[in-house]
A and B are shown apart, each in its own frame.
Chain A
């Protein structure tokens, strides 16, 4: 684990965090009456698009794994597989627009990140999400952000039955907000955690 790697990770996370914040604020300048709580669906779209675009770009620019040869058959098949996995991760969410957009957002925070880092390799996914499976700081980062996003979405469900009468207390707004905050928290926690445990982190195959 090199200092440069950690620095690159921090930069990437900073960029990702900025993209989330940007998605919440920037559309105000183009769209009249845009606000996160007022027009949640637009915000969901904006957030998913910006985060996924950034992830793809980041993966191309400073990705941890050497990109496969361009134009090769394997690359194309891999890309198709990626798309398939991404779509599969929506589950049966096509029934309503709300649920669909939430699924897109959560997939952006979880599945898409996995795809960018690990590629369409189920075995690698299984490995990364087990106890001693992380083999680089990128894996650790992935673990933490993904788990944080899912946990955030889970906790986001709790305010729904409460009678505070707030506009965001509806499915799936509170869950989306929870997932977003969880993701942001994960982006912050991951470098800190890696920094904290840098003595213990000795990756097996380096």
Chain B
């Protein structure tokens, strides 16, 4: 007997090791890519204050004598400022038309700026305003107010809201009692909540709408300016940006828009007071197609125009407009308005704005003062930053420190010198000039150092990461296409690469140690991954020619295999085509936005294609007899109709799941599903009760369905601990969850003394669920065998009928199909007969022992994840289980109609993973930060978390709930065809002719067939895992590839979610396979115990 007698285990460790290795390869590639792509930066909580200027206080120069009221650090020059932000105002929109070339629609439309600059060269000036990457509006607004270089992920920021926590210009103004008035883009509302004295927000997400924001601003702008109740007025116009997005820059609409802006500026200038500074700025530019986000020349090149009715500049403007980095505006505005420079600003003041009156020396002295304060502030920031984060290189910081201290020393000497004698000598002027140059150099280099580590992508790392991911995908594909080969191959293809990789890692580590450089773990691991991949491909290539050679020596074999391969081509082409569509859909921003609807569409298409293919191949029809051929008609088999019903059920599930979608901010007309809000927020008591009942019904249905299925498979017999847990633990869990919902949804209504009780219950019920789920999972891991063995040694005959020994008598026999492991029984019988007596062992549920353990584990996980979601999403979870069940059944039917059950075909894997991402959306998620369900962090906790780890885990489990469930359930794809093969035939046979059952032996094997061929089992598991990783990896690859192209920064958030989802999925996939192996172990132990008996 091959299985019970032989304790030959399936090769477990190579499989797990191989999968873990491939996952690590992907992880290394992802990590490398992310380290090159994700700009990160730490946010500092400190704020500058008026009373504590950085460095020593200012010197006693005469021009400080008339210190105006309400000035910090330095006397202010302007009482108020008017900041007109024109979104995406590229420099050449403001400049004069080029002399050569075709006139563009955007040329020469902002005439007022040029006229002012030409007519009053000391009053106004045009600059090139250099934005930093990423040139997305939100990041630019942050940069324009904090004076820093914001990144995609500012570490330390609160993801739940976009509000700026760092010190910024607006906060400083408000803190020092100034009034800030805002009108325009409503992004500012989220960034600066409750900071404005008065505000007029207009919706900004609809990029098709060119006029709402601008006209709204114009309605209020002039009256507000005339009203005078403001110290800083910001008007953020969006029309130009939206026009660029909609039509591109070179379009008549753009000309109209710019002329409108021109008119607006002309009117504003007429109404400007003498003490007011007008700043017109673009936050970024745009490409020739009207996009922005990357760091190309046209995107970063914006315009800045400064004007005032009083003379601003001491000198005439240079020929070519100067280049001003965007961060420079913040310290300049702050000091001009007499407020402290924000703490984290790394900008350099625009010194020419601070030197107006007097001769050259006094102007230089004024500038020196400004630079001194500015340099001290930047130095203070760099010092506190390097205490918090280590991403700025130390040696460069040291160099900066040297420049700074020498400049400060020189400054002190100069101050002493000036105080001694009245300065007017040319020698002094030269010294002043040199010192100014030093301060300038310090500030510029400081900004450059910060920009190098914060605002620059590292393309080499990105390319290398992409290459690693691509190679891993190829590896997955190649390895999964290998024949279900003996494990020797896997061993040789696994061990050598692993050893090579380890050797490479060691060598690199040693090299680093010898060179005494800092060890970058990421670089080392990716080198190791690359080396091990090369080793794998080397091995694989080494085997390839041999196979080809051996094939050519047997021409008929080769031709057959070739034909088979050609025939297999369309079978592969359909699912791969769908995968291609799925990946291709990520190339377009609109498809990323609409992904929640695209994925179900593709899933339905894939399943319809599968059925169509089966039909086309004639697998669904009754095999034609000669008579039927004459009639030229064919009809479906009974099983085929089942398959069609299942497809209909799947389509229904897909349709229903659309009811649980969350909205994205890009589609303002969308309303989020009403199932997403917690029940506690519902006012109508009757509706609340009804919904509550529906949720509880969903819970009950889930428990009943799972128990019924297990009973159907015969896994609910006997008194194994896991069986007992399913019997009693599941209902208990459901009761706990229902109680928690009841308490949580009516927590606000409770009165007085009950309040305390409610608070206790709010914590106790979730903890009870956590505990029970944990215990259940442990139990499944320790004793996963849910087999009930009925020993019938005394009976003479080996026949076991379904009526015999039914553990729960209330079950009608249609549903108790005792899964009998005949082969074992036979062998035992012969074994015992040799010993002198006839006996048999009936094992209930042995045929589905693997899948039963997985189903139990999945249900437990589902309870846990249900608890983390809002109540009404339990319906979505019920739908998830239903759809997974239907998908598995479709797969099993399709397998039974065609194909080798030991390999999971591509369509099954792809549809399974499509369903996973479908339910990511259908459990109310979207890959954007505001859509994350933060409430999940407080299920079972009362707003007090000592560490960040636990809430992160809870929120992560909530967000990736469907990824977790589908990844853990992935091995079911392999097991299900075996589980489903028996019942239909066996039931009939068992009823009609129980005596003939012996002939049907093969039919009843079910999952034990897998055990019988341990090599094939392990190979199939490995292939399944590799296919999953391939499909997941392809999506990563496409997204990563997209991000390499400039202007695609908007994919960043999507990619972050995808990458996290990938990590979660691969870990869960490994766990699922591990569970299957654990069951295999336990089954072996069970057999050996049985034999001992």
Contacts and interface: CB of A to CB of B under 8 A. Distances in A.
A126 B636 contact: yes
B597 interface: yes
A129 B631 CA distance: 16
Given A133-B634, A161-B591, A161-B597, 14 more contacts: A121-B633, A126-B621, A126-B635, A129-B615, A129-B616, A130-B617, A130-B618, A135-B632, A154-B605, A161-B588, A161-B598, A162-B588, A162-B590, A204-B629
A127 B616 CA distance: 9
Contact of B632 (A124, A131, A165): A124
Interface in B603-644: 605, 615-618, 621, 629-636
Interface of B: 208, 246, 588-591, 593-594, 597-598, 601, 605, 615-618, 621, 629-636
8 contacts: A123-B631, A126-B635, A127-B632, A130-B615, A131-B618, A135-B632, A160-B594, A161-B588
Interface string A86-126: 00000000000000000000000000000000000111101
Nearest to B594: A161
Contacts of B617: 130-131
- Range for the number of chain A residues in contact with chain B: 20 to 34
A154 to B, nearest CB: 7
Interface string A136-168: 000000000000000000100100111101000
Grouping DSSP codes into helix (H, G, I), strand (E, B) and loop, the A interface class, with mixed when no group exceeds half, is loop
Contacts of A72: none
Contacts of A130: 615-618, 621, 634
A161 B601 CA distance: 12
Interface in A150-206: 154, 157, 160-163, 165, 204-205
Interface string A3-34: 00000000000000000000000000000000
Contacts of B633: 121, 123-124, 126-127
Contacts of B598: 161
Contacts of A127: 632-634
Grouping DSSP codes into helix (H, G, I), strand (E, B) and loop, the B interface class, with mixed when no group exceeds half, is helix
Contacts of A131: 616-618
B632 A205 contact: yes
Contacts of B631: 123
Which of B598, B617, B621, B634 has most chain A Cβ within 10 Å? B634
A63 to B, nearest CB: 17
B917 to A, nearest CB: 16
Contacts of B589: 163
Contacts of A122: 635
Nearest to A157: B601
A176 B634 CA distance: 32
B593 A161 contact: yes
A34 to B, nearest CB: 27
A194 B601 CA distance: 33
Given A154-B605, A165-B208, A165-B246, A123 B634 contact: yes
A138 to B, nearest CB: 13
Nearest to B605: A154
A123 B616 contact: no
Contacts of B593: 161
A165 B248 CA distance: 14
A157 B593 CA distance: 16
A123 B629 CA distance: 11
Contacts of A161: 588, 590-591, 593-594, 597-598
A123 B636 CA distance: 8
Sorted nearest first, the 5 A-B pairs with minimum C-beta distance are A123-B633, A161-B594, A163-B590, A130-B618, A162-B590
A121 B635 CA distance: 11
A127 B591 CA distance: 38
A95 to B, nearest CB: 12
Interface in A22-67: none
A122 to B, nearest CB: 8
Nearest to B591: A161
Contacts of A132: 618
Nearest to A162: B590
A156 to B, nearest CB: 12
B586 to A, nearest CB: 12
Nearest to B592: A161
Which of A124, A131, A161, A205 has most chain B Cβ within 10 Å? A161
A127 B366 CA distance: 94
A134 to B, nearest CB: 11
Contacts of B632: 124, 127, 135, 205
Contacts of A123: 631, 633-635
A169 to B, nearest CB: 10
B148 to A, nearest CB: 33
A127 B605 CA distance: 22
B251 to A, nearest CB: 14
A157 B608 CA distance: 16
Nearest to A127: B634
A160 B601 CA distance: 12
A162 B587 CA distance: 11
Nearest to A124: B633
A198 B652 CA distance: 43
A122 B636 CA distance: 10
B647 to A, nearest CB: 14
A133 B635 CA distance: 12
Contacts of A163: 208, 589-590
B1046 to A, nearest CB: 20
Contacts of B590: 161-163
Nearest to A160: B594
Contacts of B588: 161-162
Which of A124, A130, A132, A165 has most chain B Cβ within 10 Å? A130
A181 B727 CA distance: 58
A129 B617 CA distance: 9
B568 to A, nearest CB: 16
B635 to A, nearest CB: 5
Contacts of A121: 633
B108 to A, nearest CB: 28
Contacts of B208: 163, 165
Contacts of A165: 208, 246
Contacts of B615: 126, 129-130
